[in-house]
Amino acid sequence: MMKRAVFLDRDGTLNVDKHYLSDPDQLDLIPGVGQALKRLQDAGFLLIIVTNQSGIGRGYYTEENMHAVNRRLINMLAPMGVRLTKIYYSPEAPEQPSVGRKPSPAFLFAARDDLGVDLARSFMVGDKVIDLECGWNAGVQQRLLVRTGYGAETERMHAEKMARAVVLDDCPAAAEWILSQPT
């Protein structure tokens, strides 16, 4: 049986956006994220991060720096019982060729193929238009914009595109909305 997933942007959605976060000690979770992810996980959703990390392609930090931040995120969520299923990342700068850089749906398709994810019954949560476009391009059930990170600015600047998305205050509100949907 195909699995349901919640695809999550990282910076600005799960953790406070620190503009090219490369130091794991600077990682701060947005309040309520751990509990929200645990509720989604307990409801049977795979938790999959899909993140553009252009700071690597721009030379601001290394892939190892990004992996260290991801390890810290995993370690911060573990005491709450949260297990991330997979982290997909695109290290390229926007002007560099990339297969997986959002808004490309390539990583969502990879999760479908590698993990048996039913995209039509899954969700994409993020704070930028490219996150929503990634979900649209992959055919997920719904795309959710959170107002954390760049989300409030995105909502103001792209009001016409928000008509096709669900806009909520933060990841905990997104989890609540997802869990309220019929299966």
- Which residues are annotated as catalytic? 9, 11
Q: Check residue 66 and report its DSSP letter.
A: H
117/6 Cα distance (integer angstroms): 10
Q: How far is CA 136 from CA 2, 17, 24, 30, 150, in A?
A: 19, 24, 31, 25, 19
Instruction: Kindly tell me the sign of the dihedral angle through the C-alpha atoms of 33, 8, 171, 183.
Output: negative
The pairing of beta strand 123-126 with beta strand 5-8: parallel
2-11: burial string, b at 16+ Cβ within 10 Å, e else? ebbbbbbbbb
